[in-house]
Structures are given as structure tokens and as C-alpha cells.
A and B are shown apart, each in its own frame.
Chain A
Amino acid sequence: MRMIRKALAALAMAGLIAAVLRLRGTGGTPPQEGGWRELSGPELS
């Protein structure tokens, strides 16, 4: 019984740490609108 409690506690701790790391991840913000436009003319002088 004690072993099961230890295993469950370890799993809960691992899940908590994984959740914190995932939430703190800096994955960047995808652009919501806009797009790419080729540089041309006076922009290349």
C-alpha cells in the first residue's frame, strides 16, 4: 500500500512539473493576420 502511494505521489509530482514547464514554454506567438511581401524598388536602395 505504501509503495502504491509513493508511486502515485511520484506520478502526480511528474505531472505537475510537466504542466508547469509546458505552461512556461515560450513557443512564440503565431501571426494572426498579415503575410509576406517581396521587397522591391526603393526598399532595395
Chain B
Amino acid sequence: MKAAVIGAGAVGARLARQLVSTEQVDAVVLRDERASRLDAVTASLGAVSRSDRGGYADPVDAEVVVLAGPVGSHVQQARAFVGRNQHVVSTSDDLSEVRGLLDLDIEARERGVAVVVGAGFCPGLTCVLVAHAASRFDVVDEIHVAKAGTGGPACARQHHRALGHMAIDWREGGWIQRPPGSGRELCWFPDPIGAQDCYRAALPDARLLVPAFPGVRRVTSRVAATRRDRLTAGLPMLWPTHPEGGPGAVRIEVRGHRDRAHDVVVFGAIDRPAVAAGAVGAVAALWAVDRRLRRSGAGGLAELAEPGPFLGELARRGVRSAVFQGDAQPVA
């Protein structure tokens, strides 16, 4: 199997490492505009990988192309690669970009290829966790997603942008725009992240989850933020970002009915966001080529992946998920 990774940043490099360590992968082609970064990452991956100086959307010899480059270019690249009958996996967590990628659904279905949208830590791992939690219910009423932490510098910039733009919530069959930085909620992530104040932001999770759960009444997503994050959300980033990010966490809460009784399931995970996103993107790429996804076309992992085996493969690669067993009270 041949794969291409567009973008050799924190996520792209981890994703390529996951691919080269997979037995069935014969070659991984890496592209990045930063020549020195590209050479360094390629050299660290060994003989299976090679660098490519082509433009991001130029033709590449690969069955699947993973888009892990700068936000804002994924739709154009995905359209080009789908047009060449190649599977596409995007790690983008930009709301408008996710909308654009989902719009490729008809063309991707016609061509029999998959466009996996939001294959990262959040969205991505969160979508799979939601699908796994939903499988425990007869009817899913509400889905709430939260994340803490960022991957590399590009992820940190996206986090900053998201806190400055309108959020969307799904409520009773319709989309509602909400001000960014509103809706504070104390979310409890797995230790050592623990309790974090989380707020609404321009996050794509609801856009990816609603099509997967017809009839769901409420879908919300929030991101952990500090007072400084919220205060400076409307300004350019005023401080340098960490090259690799720190530890992060995700938490999903699904409320619904089982045997005519209300219940709540809470799943979470803790990892370095770039590492976890790399594993999720790599498994999505492998499943796309192996035709293990539920259908062709564009969609999130909640729609496309069988959650149990997907989480099992992630656990084998070191990304482990957890269930909260407490006394969270279901809403009547």
C-alpha cells in the first residue's frame, strides 16, 4: 500500500510514523513547503518514506492521501485527489473547511472513494468515542463533546481562531449560532488534566456528529480555555506556541434511552493531541484503503468507522480510552 501525507508538522510527522510502522504500508510520500522540516522528518522515518517537492495538490502516486497541512487548503486538495479516484483523510478541525469537505460527498460516492473528515484528536477520536457510547443506547438524545489542549503550533493557532468565531449547536432539529467564549461548563477530563472550564467556539464536532445520529436532539462542543485565551481571542496570537503542545484530553458525554430508562455514558482519553491525532488519521487511512469503512463518500468517523474495532486498533497503537464510572445524574 502507498500513502501520501501532505504536511509534516506535529500531526503529519506522527501520522507518517504510524504509517511507516505498519506492515502493509510499502511507501509513504511526504510533502511540505518547509524544505528543512520535510527533510528532517523524512530522514527520521527511514527507508519506507520519501520526500516530494511537488505542490500540495499536485498528483501523487498513492492510494490514500492524508491532508495534515495548513488549515484553509484541505478542500481544494481533497477535490483534486478525489478527482483522481484517491481516498482522502483530512485532519482539519476548521468548521468552514469541514463543511466544504462534507460537500464532496456526492462526488466521492460516485467515484467509490472515501473522504474521512476530521480524523484527528477532536474531532476524530471523539467521533469514534461518541459512536461507541451511542451503541449502548436504543435512542440517543444528546451528545456533548469537550477537549483540552492543543497539538503543534498550527493546532494552537486554530484553537485561538475558533475562540474568536461563532459556535454552532444542534438543538431540537436545527442549528443555532452561539457567541464564542459563552456557555461556560466545568468538564471533568481523565487525570491528570482533571476539571477544566470549557466554552463554546467554532468547532466542527456537531457538524460531523448530527448526520451520524438522526433524531438526536442536542449536540454541543466546547473547548477548554483560560481567561487569557478568551480575552485575546479577537486579536492575533500574542505569544509563541509550544512546538509539540502539551498533554491534552477529550471527553464525550452521550445521553439517551435504554430499555425506556434515561442513562448517561461518559468516555474520555488523555494523550498528546498530535500523537493521538496521528494515530487516528493513520488508522483511518489504512481502513479506507482496506475498504473497512462503512461506506464511500465524505463523512466523519462516527458515520464511517465501526467504533469498537477502531478503538481497539488505537489502543494497540497506544491511544487508550477510558469510561467514567461515577454518579453523573441523567437529566429527566
Contact = CB atoms under 8 A, between A and B. Distances in A.
21 contacts: A27-B184, A28-B185, A29-B328, A30-B188, A31-B324, A31-B327, A32-B326, A32-B327, A33-B327, A34-B325, A34-B327, A34-B328, A35-B325, A35-B326, A36-B191, A36-B268, A39-B321, A40-B315, A44-B311, A44-B315, A45-B308
B174 interface: no
A38 B322 CA distance: 4
B323 interface: yes
Contacts of B329: 29
Given A30-B195, A44-B309, A45-B308, A35 B184 contact: no
Report the 8 A-B pairs with minimum CB-CB distance, sorted nearest first. Answer: A34-B326, A44-B312, A31-B326, A36-B322, A28-B186, A36-B190, A28-B185, A39-B321
A35 B300 CA distance: 29
B86 to A, nearest CB: 30
Contacts of A40: 315
A41 B260 CA distance: 28
Contacts of A39: 267, 311, 315, 320-323
Interface residues of B, number: 26
Contacts of A25: 184
Contacts, number: 62
B311 A37 contact: no
A34 B188 CA distance: 12
Contacts of B186: 27-28, 30
Contacts of A38: 320-322
A27 B323 CA distance: 22
A31 to B, nearest CB: 4
B324 to A, nearest CB: 6
Interface of B: 183-188, 190-191, 195, 267-268, 308-309, 311-312, 315, 320-329
Contact of A45 (B188, B312, B320, B325): B312
Nearest to B316: A44
A37 to B, nearest CB: 6
Contact of A34 (B183, B187, B324): B324
A30 to B, nearest CB: 7
B324 A36 contact: yes
A30 B64 CA distance: 43
B201 to A, nearest CB: 17
B61 to A, nearest CB: 34
Contacts of B185: 26-28
A26 to B, nearest CB: 7
A37 B312 CA distance: 15
A16 to B, nearest CB: 21
Contacts of A27: 184-186
A20 to B, nearest CB: 16
Given A30-B195, A44-B312, 14 more contacts: A28-B186, A28-B187, A31-B188, A31-B327, A32-B327, A34-B327, A35-B324, A35-B326, A37-B323, A38-B321, A38-B322, A39-B323, A40-B315, A45-B308
Interface in A3-45: 25-40, 43-45
A30 B155 CA distance: 29
B34 to A, nearest CB: 37
Given A31-B327, A33-B327, A45 B268 contact: no
Contacts of B327: 31-34
Nearest to B312: A44
Contacts of B191: 36
